[in-house]
Every structure is written in C-alpha cells, then in structure tokens.
Amino acid sequence: MTQDKVIAAPHGLALAQLALGLGGLFIGTGEFAAMGLLPSMAQSAGVSIPQAGNLISAYAIGVVVGAPALAIASARMEKRNLLLLLASIVLVGNLASALAPGFLSIAAARFVAGLPHGAYYGTASIVAAAMVPSSQRAQAIGRVMLGLAAANLVGVPLTTWLGQSFGWRSAFGVVAIGGGLLIVMLRTLIPTIAADKDASPLRELSAFRSLQIWLTLGVATIGFGGMFAVYSYITPTLVEETGVAQATVPWFLALWGLGMVVGNIAGGWLADRALIPSIFAIIVWNVVFLALFFLAAHGPIMAGASLFMIGIGFALVPALQARLMDVARQAQSLAAAMNHSAFNLSNAIGAWTGGLAIAAGFGWASTGLVGAALAAGGLAIMVVSAQLIRRPASTQELKA
C-alpha cells in the first residue's frame, strides 16, 4: 500500500489519535466485559457458565456479520461520518445489553453491540494511517489498537469491579455512556476524509480474489483464537483452578491488559521494520505461552506472570492489520474491517473450543492447551502464506 499525502487533523494529530484510541477503549471494554462478568451473567440468566459463553459468541457473530456488511454498504461514505454512525450503534447495543431482561434478549443485544466493532477498527485504522507518513503506518494503527489493549488494562478491571459491586448491567451502562462521549470526540477531533470516488461494493469484493487476503484472515481467525480460549473463561479459571478470591480477579485482568499494551506498542514498532518475520515471531510466542498456561494456572504468581506474557501476544493485531492493508490493494475498507471480523470469529472459536474442553472434564486450565493448538494452526497458515510470497502474483489469485 502506498500513501500519497498526509491529512491534517483539525486540532492536531495527538488529539485525533486519542479520539480513535478511546473508541477502541470503549468498544474493547464492551467486548471483553462479558468475559470478566460471565459467572454473574450466567447466574442472572439462569444458565451454566459454558452456556453463558454463548453470549460472548453472540457478540463475535455480530462482528463477523457487521464488519463486511457495513464496510461494503459504506464504501462511498465519508470516513468521519461513518465513524459517527458506528459509535451510535455502540451506544445503542450496549445500552440494550444493560436493559435486556433475559438470556435471549441479552444475546440479541450483544449481537447488535458487535455489529460496528470490525468496521470501526477497520475505518479507524485507515483514518489513522492517512494522518501519518507511510513509514509510520503500523505504529499509527497500533495507537488505535492501544485503546483495545487499554480496555483490558483499565476498562475490563473497572467493569468487573462495577459488575461485582453494582450488578453486571452497570458495566454495559458505563460503556454506553462512553459511546456517547465518543460521538462528541469524533465529531470534533477527526478530519473529514472523503471516500475514494471510484470506491464501490463491487470493487471491494473483487479484490478478495487475492489468496493472500484469505490466508491472512485465516491466521487471524485460527491463530488468535488461542488467546480467547483462555480469556473467555479466565474468571472461573482463576477462582476454581488458581484459587484466588473473586475480588482479586480484576488485578489479574489488569496484568493481561498490561501485557496487551506492551505487545501492541511492540507489535506496531516491529511491523514497521520487518513485517513478515515479526508475525512469525509473535505467533510462536503465543504457542509457547498459551501451552505454559496449562501448568502456570495452578498458582497465583505463575498465573499472573503467564497472563501478562499471553497478553503480549496481542502484538499480532497491528502486525496483521498492516499485512492486510499491504495485500488488500483496492479493498482497503473491507479488508481492514474483515481483519476484526476474523479476530472475533476467533473469539467465537476460542470460547467454543475452550468450553468443549471444560465441559468434557479436562479442567479449567485445559484452555491453555486448546489455545496453543489454535495458535499452532495459525502458524501453519502463515507458513503457507510466506511460501506463496515467493511465487508470481498471477498464481496468488483465486479463479472464478
């Protein structure tokens, strides 16, 4: 991908990046809050914890559906207005989550809350990249994703505490308020970025003949599922397997979030210097530390250290986002959104496979082994992608 010019923000680059990052914070908090509150949500809805894991999957399915649908429908929409629309859906979906009376209505609200997720991060990544030179692109994307990482450092521990103190519905109410604040900030701080006049749904879709796009999405879908296999059940794992008090769980979630912040910064820096080798190194890191979680989960000190190290694996997000923008060519909006659709499909896969292992009686810590297996699958897909890079471009197109 090349970038012809840098677009200036009306009140400075720092404030514009702050607004985009806060959007990531609010959306990420809304996504991951359910994982920290899963036991209380299960009790409220009258279902088991593995069954309540389907609420996580409902959000993820919303992302999978919403990312391509909204990206295609908005191909010719001005980017700031698109971000405002997406922030409005964030507000509505999380408010509905806070007010929904039963399991099915909560699941429906989580689905709606997930719809703007991929399109927001994809559009915000494009906007962030447009405001900096191309040599700083991955780091700019990383600053958007820093909000998602900060959600696990600050937002999720806060909403977990709120949920334990005032009921889980209060957590989603706070996220809805954040959505309202986001609308104001985006309207004030983000520059107008016109859509490509030649953009069209057909052009966005036609670029998906590239095999490299599908392989990169496959790495995200399978490889990143390992983190979610562990994280989806982290609260009951810490309480039942590690033996910590439920009141201390937010501190462990903060360690995970701190790791994500470190990984996010490192991932953007590495990707701007050596993209493909960085992706390989990050995936191998994930395989190793997810596998070690199976052993580390049995004591609080080792569990905390393990969660921090697993969180660093979030470095994969800005790296894969930059990779997709390289191979997407004329499908920037759709590809950027689909990356987060893939990540949230990995969310559903991780929650589902982790739940299967738990339900089969392998124990809460078995999610680490499930996660390592998924990460290894992503590594295998990346090997195929790297091998194809050496071949002529004509061999990397899918035939109609």
User: In the chain, what are the domains?
Assistant: 13-396 (1.20.1250.20)
Given this model, what pLDDT does residue 20 score?
95
Contact 53, 355 (CB under 8 A): yes
Confidence of residue 75 (pLDDT cuts 50, 70, 90): confident
| pLDDT (average), residues 118-122 | 87
Contact 326, 275 (CB under 8 A): yes
Q: Which residues of 269-285 are buried (b: 16+ CB within 10 A; e: fewer)?
A: ebbbeeeeebbeebbeb
Given this model, what pLDDT does residue 393 score?
57
Question: At residue 399, does pLDDT exceed 60?
Answer: no
Confidence of residue 1 (pLDDT cuts 50, 70, 90): very low
Contact 21, 143 (CB under 8 A): yes
Better-predicted residue by pLDDT, 384 or 207: 384
Question: At residue 3, does pLDDT exceed 80?
Answer: no
Given this model, what pLDDT does residue 132 score?
85
* Mean predicted lDDT score pLDDT of the chain: 88
Question: At residue 291, does pLDDT exceed 90?
Answer: yes
Given this model, what pLDDT does residue 2 score?
46
pLDDT digits (tens, 9 = 90+) for 242-266: 999 988 888 898 898 899 889 988 9
| pLDDT (average), residues 210-229 | 92
The CA-CA-CA angle for residues 130, 203, 319, to 5°, reads 45
Contact 148, 26 (CB under 8 A): no
The CA-CA-CA angle for residues 8, 13, 15, to 5°, reads 130
Contacts of 191 (CB under 8 A, 6+ apart): 7, 8, 9, 10, 16, 80, 127, 131
C-alpha 181: how far from chain center: 21
pTM of the model: 0.78
